[in-house]
Structure 1
Amino acid sequence: MLLYVIRHGETDYNREQRLQGARDIPLNDTGRGQARHNGRTLASRALEFSLDQFDWVSSPLARTRETMELVRESAGLDPRDYRTDALLTELSFGDWEGQTLDEVGQHSQHLIEAREQNKWRFRPPGAKAESYAMLAERTDLFLSKVTQPTICVAHGGVIRTLFNRIGRVADDDAALLDIPQDRVLKIADGEIGWI
């Protein structure tokens, strides 16, 4: 497997440390700059294949699609020549989406404490809410469909599950990883690391 993964650029929710999850929040100007930077990074590297030989796939959320289009444009490719896959959608924070953890703590401190005890398996309240363990099952399905060299744009949660599944980072450690928005992750031959 050869997979390059980019986290979407910054949003105002990222800047404010709000739980955005599956909400469709747009990039801000910093995020657009990060996306362009990642496109230039890919274009300047001597990759295993030319960029047009990769399968390009994005989460369907607007912030990942805009990132993908800016990455491709900055790499000299047609911005719209990619596909989306719902398996790459960020995990849902359910009823907590749109709030900061401090705001959640004002009404549900006991749940914040439960989350800190086992972040990987904790599922926030709400019918559509997911845990990292649930997201990892989606990531496994996505990985099972990767049959050619691929470049994808996804979310911090998805990338944390990649570190868990491929990098063998322990569950709760993976859930706590800081995932940058201005770097490209390379996964090849069972190895995972930033370029």
Structure 2
Amino acid sequence: MLLYVIRHGQTDYNREQRLQGARDIPLNDTGRGQARQNGRTLASAGLELPLDQFDWVSSPLARTRETMELVRESAGLDPRNYRTDALLIELSFGDWEGQTLEEVRRHSKDLIAAREQDKWRFRPPGEKAESYAMLAERTDRFLSKVRRPTVCVAHGGVIRTLFNRIGRVADDEAALLDIPQDRVLKIAYGEIGWI
């Protein structure tokens, strides 16, 4: 498997440290700059294949699609020539989406404590809420469909599950990883690391 993965650029929710999850929040100007830089990084990295020979796939949320289009444009490719896959959507924080962890702590201190005990398996309240373990199962389904070298734009949670599944980072350690928005992750032949 040869996979290059980019986290979407910064949004105002990221800047404000709000739980974004599956909410469809657009990039801010910093995020647009990060996406363009990641496109230039890919274009100058001397990859194994020409960029137009990769499969390009994005989460369908607006912030990932805009990131994908800016990455492709900055790499000299048609910005619209990619596909989306719903398996790459960020994990849902359920009823907590839109709040900061400090705001959640004020009304759900016991749930925050439970989350800190087992972040990988903790599922926030709400019908659509997910744990990292649930997201990892979706990531597994996405990976099972990767048939050729791929460039992917996804979310921090998805990338954490890639470190867990491919990099064999332990569950709770993977859930705590800081995932930058201005770097490109390379997954090749069972190895995982930033370029």
Is 1:102 the counterpart of 2:128? The answer is: no
Distance (Å, rounded) in 2 between the aligned partners of 1:45 and 1:181: 17
User: How high is the TM-score relative to the length of structure 2?
Assistant: 1.00
Distance (Å, rounded) in 1 between the aligned partners of 2:170 and 2:45: 31
1:87 counterpart SS class: helix
Shift of 1:53: 0.1
Residue type of the partner of 1:55?
A: D
Match of 1:152? 152
Is 1:126 the counterpart of 2:126? The answer is: yes
Match of 1:178? 178
Shift of 1:45: 1.1
**1:135-171 Cα shifts (integer Å, max 9, x gaps):** 0000000000000000000000000000000000000
Task: Tell me how large the CA RMSD over aligned residues is.
Answer: 0.2
Superposed counterparts of 1:31-180, under 5 Å:
31-180=31-180
5+ residue gaps, structure 1, are: none
Residue type of the partner of 1:58?
A: S
Residue type of the partner of 1:168?
A: R
5+ residue gaps, structure 2, are: none
Residue type of the partner of 1:135?
A: L
Match of 2:21? 21
Sequence identity percentage: 89
Distance (Å, rounded) in 1 between the aligned partners of 2:180 and 2:45: 19
Distance (Å, rounded) in 1 between the aligned partners of 2:49 and 2:140: 24
Residue type of the partner of 1:112?
A: I
**1:63-82 Cα shifts (integer Å, max 9, x gaps):** 00000000000000000000
Q: How many pairs were matched up?
A: 195
